[in-house]
Amino acid sequence: MIDKISLLVIYTGGTIGMVKDKKTGTLKPFDFTHLYDDIPVLRNFDYRIDFQSFDPLLDSSNMHPSFWVRLAGVIEENYEDYEGFVVLHGTDTMAYTASAMSFMLENLNKPVIFTGSQLPMGEIRTDGRDNFINAIEIASAMDDDTPIVPEVAICFENRLFRANRTSKFNAENFGAFLSGNYSSLADIGVRIKYKQELILKPNFRKLKVHKNLDENIAILKLFPGITANVVNCALNTKELKAVILETFGAGNAPTAPWFLDMMKEAIDRGIIILNVTQCKGGTVEMGKYETGAELERIGVIGGYDITTESAVTKLMYLLGCDDLSRQEVIHFLQTSLRGEMTV
């Protein structure tokens, strides 16, 4: 029986941790050491909540895989001391960081809940206060001493999403995130309604943290009128190992001979090409139309309904596993490892 739940809040940067200086009018970092004074309702939880801030704080637009390694290291170092973790992060690249954590933290059996806000914590109408309180409650939620949400998730605007299923789709509304191909894990109203059948189950194995990420990938987004020069530049990037091909609809692409020839030549050189739809909802079905079937014929890999954010971080993770062959990487790209896609 756990005597008192302990949570670690990790502030990385972003809007949620900013307040307006009354004298200058500029935004400055929120002082989390006085959090109980600013949000006294937290005392009602009767948890031990500790805080750790990154130094320097990082705007999410400056996010880099080296930061993901640092964040995973913080969770690894503190894993045995806390029942759950809340990560405060800027919204612009939150889906990338949270997706990366889902792959880097193998055998995760505790909640790692990401949240942020569209307005700074100190603003009167801030969404940060509710997002933060909800994330705290979810990170601490237990059923018979077992975490209810033992996975990486994003808590935002009264909904909880699987991290590697999300994309930021709105910069104006409080509901900034979308999970187009997978239902929310929980809906937050008068009560938090967990959808137990959708949440990953704990395996009670020892946490294994993967810190070797390979950044030699590219995203090639198709558009009507894309030229051979653009495709050629993308596919011939120095040290390139994999390309995420953002296609139309159900995984369709031009059937022009020059385009297919360039794709096949790159694949023959050993470059992995992963087909991901540009749509926020729906899945890649390369055999459905002739335009997609041609890609499958030359060796392009179907990404099912994986998001671009998840595809980027999954590829970095798999390519960073030195013991995996090219064929094993391809196999795992077509396998759901952390619930990131529906196969």
| 291 pLDDT higher than 80 | no
Tell whether 149 and 270 lie within a shared domain. Answer: no
Q: What range defines the domain where residue 187 resides? A: 6-209
Write out the two tokens for 52. 């750790």
Pairing of strands 152-156, 6-11: unpaired
**Which has the higher per-residue pLDDT, 18 or 304?**
304
Domain end call among 188, 209, 230: 209
Tell whether 100 and 237 lie within a shared domain. Answer: no
In a domain, residue 343? The reply is no
What are the C-alpha distances in Å from 59 to residues 70, 300, 322? 15, 35, 31
Question: Which residue blocks in 81-189 are alpha helix, DSSP H?
Answer: 94-104, 128-140
Q: Is 180 left (phi over 0), alpha (psi -120 to 50) or beta?
A: alpha
Share of the chain residues as helix, strand and coil, in percent rounded to the nearest 5: 35, 20, 45
- If pLDDT is split at 50, 70 and 90, which confidence band does 285 have? confident
Angle subtended by helix axes 257-268 and 290-298, to nearest 10: 30
Handedness of CA 34, 35, 40, 44 (dihedral sign): negative
In a domain, residue 340? The reply is no
- If pLDDT is split at 50, 70 and 90, which confidence band does 195 have? very high
Tens digit of each residue's pLDDT (9 = 90 or more) over 36-73: 766 778 788 888 999 998 888 888 888 999 999 999 99
Residue owning tokens 């997002």: 131
* DSSP run (H or E) holding 114: strand 112-115
| 293 pLDDT higher than 90 | no
* Range with lowest mean pLDDT among 10-24, 179-193, 252-266: 10-24
* DSSP run (H or E) holding 332: helix 326-333
Tell whether 163 and 34 lie within a shared domain. Answer: yes
In a domain, residue 338? The reply is no
Q: At residue 4, what are phi and psi to the nearest 5 degrees?
A: -145, 125
How big is the CA angle at 161 (ends 275 and 49), to the nearest 5 degrees?
A: 135
Contacts of 114 (CB under 8 A, 6+ apart): 86, 87, 89, 94, 97, 98, 101, 135, 152, 153, 154, 155, 163
| 104 pLDDT higher than 80 | yes
Q: What's the number of domains the chain is made of? A: 2
Percent of the chain with pLDDT over 90: 69
Write out the two tokens for 149. 């949400």
- If pLDDT is split at 50, 70 and 90, which confidence band does 319 have? very high
Residue 286: the pLDDT is 80
Domain end call among 191, 209, 227: 209
Catalytic residues: 15
Q: At residue 71, what are phi and psi to the nearest 5 degrees?
A: -65, -45
Contacts of 251 (CB under 8 A, 6+ apart): 275, 277, 284, 285, 286, 288, 292, 295, 302, 303
CA–CA gap between residue 329 and residue 314 (Å, rounded): 10
CA–CA gap between residue 223 and residue 227 (Å, rounded): 9
Q: Which DSSP letter does residue 80 get?
A: G
In a domain, residue 1? The reply is no
Tell whether 84 and 156 lie within a shared domain. Answer: yes
Examine residue 224 and say whether the peptide bond preceding it is cis (omega within 30 degrees of 0): no
Mean pLDDT of 298-307: 94
- Which CATH number fits the domain that encloses residue 106? 3.40.50.1170
Tell whether 184 and 77 lie within a shared domain. Answer: yes
CA–CA gap between residue 133 and residue 136 (Å, rounded): 5
Tell whether 147 and 15 lie within a shared domain. Answer: yes
Tens digit of each residue's pLDDT (9 = 90 or more) over 107-165: 999 999 999 887 877 677 877 788 999 999 999 999 988 999 999 999 999 999 999 99
Over its C-alpha atoms, the chain yields an Rg (Å, rounded) of 21
- Which CATH number fits the domain that encloses residue 319? 3.40.50.40
| 33 pLDDT higher than 70 | no
Write out the two tokens for 182. 């997978």
What are the C-alpha distances in Å from 119 to residues 165, 175, 192, 203? 24, 12, 23, 37
